[in-house]
Amino acid sequence: MIKPLLRYLLTASFLMLWTHDLIAQSSDSLQTQTDLRDAFRHILKPNAVKKDTINDNAATSSILPALGYSPSFGLAIGVTSSGGRRLGNPATTNFSIYNWNAYASTGGLASFEIKHNVYTPDNKFNLLGGIQVGRSVALDYGIGTGLKNQGDGNFAFNNLPFENNPDVFQMRYTYFKINERVYKRLFGHFFAGAGIVADWYGNIRNQNPNTPQTSTHNFRYSIRNNYNPNSYRANGLLFNLEFDSRDHPNRAYKGLYVDVVLRTNRQWLGSTQNAAQLKTELRKYFSLSKQNPEHVLAFWIWGNYLLGGSVPYLSLPGTGADVSTRTGRAYTIGRFKGISFFYSESEYRFPITENKLLSGVVFANVETASNLRKVDRIKLFQHWEPGAGAGLRMLLNKYSRSNICLDYGMGHYGSSGIFLGLNEAF
């Protein structure tokens, strides 16, 4: 998928990092912190004095150009940006964030993506969503957990397998996705809202030369559920309830986030089939130190459950199906998927250097997925696939709490991998 390759490209960004501050914001606690911008400025101008402007409502942005190479995708160049600001009183308005990225490769892959999470003054409204368009690749491992004969012992780099596995089908496809929600604050930290979603997948092709199209999981699932295996759509309405008491959306030290979404795909909106899904997400953060609030215990529960109808194969929930494609560190994207899917993760975050430039994490996760086959049926919670690992964080922009993440994870069946990302996994 798109995000894994983009994070693959970020490996070269450590050598060619460029960050740009539109307007600096600061507080007393930030004066003692050093981010990558400060580090580069110190290298270029060792005797320069920090010039931080105290302005909590000003905008801040960081940009990462990148260059990478993969035998599967060729030479790729890309750029990604993360930024944000407060649009109102800091005491009553959450920090708003926005991200965009773009890349292209000589192997024909391309992507452009914009995402935002905006809070209007006094949190009266929360606008959340994004648009994605491009050409990408999906790795097809089949449906359900407990599938021991697929992808065993495969080492992954940034959610993509390091070597080709003959038991895994590789599909290329084009896509367009839009997801926009509007939440209205009811009281306190509670919001309610609605939105629209449209997912289109086309030009779906199996890339394994020795495997006929009719043998792929996508083809069999699509024919069984009355989809054209080469193209399908999932368009619908969203109805949402949200609770958000986090102190920051990029890197929370404390607070609770709960999101419950009812998605209903409708043919009258252009969806290939009707369907109803319930998506639930919970994130809880505990700061363990007043002096060093970066010591954090974080917990994440993510689930997506089919209530009725059917969804296209590439829209099935699974590893990396969350909005940031970060679930399931230890496995490749799409390693496990299902008609319904449940995921849980715990993480301990801690500073390493006194100036907070470097920090670390240890994490553990588990996931389970179901299928609906009459033979060899797999139920949700029947098989659990665990993962665990540790990682380093480098503070990219202290004003927006953005950081660069480098993780190593190990999972079931000998699976392991290195995973790069921008901002925390959750």
119 token code pair: 């809070």
Residues 6+ apart with CB under 8 A from 45: none
pLDDT average, residue stretch 26-40: 67
Q: How many CA atoms lie within 13 A of 266 on its CB side?
A: 10
| Residue that wins the pLDDT comparison between 257 and 403 | 257
Q: How much is the pTM? A: 0.83
Tokens for 412, please give them: 């079931």
DSSP 52-64: ----TTS-EEEEE
Poorest-confidence range of 27-36, 114-123, 315-324, 393-402? 27-36
**Res. 32 pLDDT band, cuts 50 70 90:** confident
Region 258-268: what's the mean pLDDT?
96
- Predicted confidence (pLDDT) per residue in 281-298, tens digit: 999 999 999 888 999 999
Structure tokens at 169: 């089908």
Place of tokens 């996994």: 425
Q: Is pLDDT larger for residue 294 or for residue 8?
A: 294
5 SS3 class:
helix
Transcribe 26-40 into DSSP letters.
--GGGTT---HHHHH
Kindly state the average pLDDT of the residues 26-44: 67
Return the minimum-mean-pLDDT range out of 189-193, 274-278, 306-310, 354-358: 354-358
Residue with tokens 């390693």: 335
Element (H, E) at 200: strand 190-206
Q: Which domains does the chain have, with CATH numbers?
A: 2-422 (2.40.160.50)
Q: Which residue has the higher pLDDT, 53 or 198?
A: 198
Tens digit of each residue's pLDDT (9 = 90 or more) over 9-22: 444 444 344 444 44
- Report which of 140, 134, 132, 149 is spatially closest to residue 207, judged by C-alpha positions: 140
* Dist. CA 127–CA 123, nearest whole Å: 10
Q: What is the rounded average pLDDT of the residues 165-180? A: 83
- Residue of 121 and 76 predicted with greater confidence: 121
Nearest residue to 370 via CA among 360, 384, 390: 384
Give the helix/strand (H/E) hosting 6: helix 2-9
In this prediction, residue 91 carries a pLDDT of 85
User: What does the chain come to in residues?
Assistant: 426
> For the segment 313-353, what is each residue's pLDDT rounded down to a tens digit?
999 999 988 888 889 998 888 889 999 999 999 999 999 99
The predicted structure's pLDDT at residue 124: 94
What is the spatial distance between Cα 342 and Cα 94, in angstroms, rounded to a whole number?
A: 29
- Predicted confidence (pLDDT) at residue 4 exceeds the cutoff of 70: no
For residue 151, pLDDT over 60 is answered with: no
Which tens digits make up the pLDDT trace of 53-73?
445 555 666 677 776 655 556
Pairwise CA distance, residues 107 & 65, whole Å: 19
Q: What is the pLDDT of residue 154?
A: 61
Beta-bridged to residue 23, according to DSSP, are none
Measured in degrees and rounded to the nearest 5, phi and psi for residue 142 equal 95, 180
Residue 2: pLDDT band by 50, 70, 90 thresholds?
very low
Residues in contact with 116: Cβ distance below 8 Å, sequence separation at least 6, in sequence order: 96, 97, 98, 99, 127, 128, 129, 130
pLDDT score recorded for residue 57: 59
Query: What pLDDT score was predicted for residue 90?
Result: 86
Q: Give residue 152's pLDDT band: very low, low, confident or very high (50, 70, 90).
A: low
Give the DSSP H/E element, type plus range, for residue 25: none
pLDDT grade, residue 418 (50/70/90)? confident
Q: For 206-251, write each residue's pLDDT tens digit.
A: 877 777 777 788 898 999 999 999 999 999 999 999 999 999 888 9
Nearest to 397 by CA among 99, 3, 119: 99
**pLDDT at residue 368, rounded to an integer:** 96
Mean residue pLDDT of the chain comes to 82
Alpha helix (H) residue ranges in 176-309: 217-224
How far apart are alpha carbons 379 and 145 in whole angstroms? 9
Looking at residue 212, its pLDDT comes to 77
Residues 6+ apart with CB under 8 A from 110: 103, 104, 134, 135
What percentage of the chain reaches a pLDDT higher than 90? Answer: 45
Return the pLDDT at 287: 95
pLDDT band at 74 (very low <50, low <70, confident <90, very high): low
Would the pLDDT of 419 be above 80? yes
Measured CA to CA, the distance from residue 102 to residue 311 in angstroms comes to 28
Q: Tell me the two tokens of residue 114.
A: 């914009």
